[in-house]
Amino acid sequence: MRRLEGKRIAITGPRKAAELSVIVEKQGGIPLIRPAQGTVAIEKEKVEAEIRQLLDVGGDWIILTTGVGTEMLYKVAEEMGAAEAFVEQLRRMNIAARGYKTVNYLKTLGLTPTVRDDDGTTVGILRALQPYDMKGRRVALQLYGDHAPRLVQWLKEQQADYYEILPYLHVPPELEVVDTLLSEIVRREVDAVTFTSTPQVRFLMAYAREKGLEEPLLAAFRESTVAVAVGKVTAEALRDEGIERVVAPEEERMGSMIVALGHYYEQ
């Protein structure tokens, strides 16, 4: 059944865009490849400085938001000859972990989080942290290409003394491509936009704000263009940015995402 017959679907993820295009075409859709993420780089010196700060100052809590970011911190510490000291420091702190990948990676280091989310989202980790008094507590916040505004806002409201550790830097994509995507959405020339990571969401919205197009963009997502997320975390980022209508599959897979979009149109 070709549920996406004639629908124009913009693909913002640079990775596996070709694979996703084939899935869209099989459902009768027209894929438009519009990378909105750019590349990922590591600012090694910055991460080393942040790890040194963590080792020197420590803290009461460390909030780890991704498995890949946690692993990156450990690997950089290892290259600095400080892997053991890094694990020992984490052992002395309360650990809050978001996502099963983070929890599984901590297990390989012999670490168990004090708290963890129940659903892989920022809201889930905030729920888990509610019983704890963060006022004046020193908190290290590990982020991965997403500045997690809701988490940062909560730490500010709690009057926590927090600092961010960002293992990755997202280099902007080709702006001409993003300009094209923005104008296609605003002019209602695309039926749906797929997002496979939070940086795609954050960058597109930040760029729209910079160009004075945030309101027309949000109106398009409200009225005609469907935002499609690969999973809960990406869906949460879309809602954070004011996009209420989000289609997302139960199972975090690209194929499932397109199937979910097909079901949405069928209904």
Of 152, 221, 147, which Cα lies nearest the Cα of 185? 221
Dihedral angle sign, alpha carbons of residues 207, 208, 211, 214: negative
- Interatomic CA distance for residues 88 and 94, integer angstroms: 12
3-state secondary structure of 218: helix
Copy the structure tokens of residue 123: 């809201």
pLDDT, position 118: 86
Confidence check: pLDDT of 252 > 80? yes
Per-residue confidence band for 16, with pLDDT thresholds at 50, 70 and 90 = confident
Q: Amino acid identity, residue 263?
A: H
pLDDT, position 80: 95
* Residue 162: strand pairing partners: 139
pLDDT, position 258: 92
Residue 19's H or E segment, with its range, is: helix 17-26
The pTM of the full predicted model, rounded to 2 decimals, is 0.72
Q: How many residues make up the chain in this entry?
A: 267
The fraction of the chain above a pLDDT of 70, given in percent, is 97
Q: What is the pLDDT of residues 162-171, one digit of tens each?
A: 998 877 766 7
Mean pLDDT for 82-109 is 95
pLDDT, position 39: 66
Confidence check: pLDDT of 176 > 80? yes
* Residue 64: strand pairing partners: 97, 142
Q: What is the pLDDT of residues 137-156, one digit of tens each?
A: 999 999 876 677 889 999 99
Dihedral pair phi/psi, residue 214, rounded to 5°: -60, -50
pLDDT, position 217: 97
Average model confidence (pLDDT) for the chain? 91
Q: How crowded is residue 98: how many other Cβ atoms within 10 Å of its Cβ?
A: 28
Among 10-24, 95-109, 227-241, which stretch is predicted with the lowest mean pLDDT?
10-24
- Give the chain's domains with CATH numbers: 8-38+174-266 (3.40.50.10090), 41-169 (3.40.50.10090)
pLDDT, position 68: 84
Q: What is the pLDDT of residues 198-229, one digit of tens each?
A: 888 988 998 999 999 999 999 999 999 999 99
pLDDT, position 267: 81
- 145: Cβ contacts below 8 Å, ≥ 6 apart: 40, 166, 168, 169, 170, 197, 198, 199
pLDDT, position 146: 67
Which DSSP letter does residue 225 get?
A: P
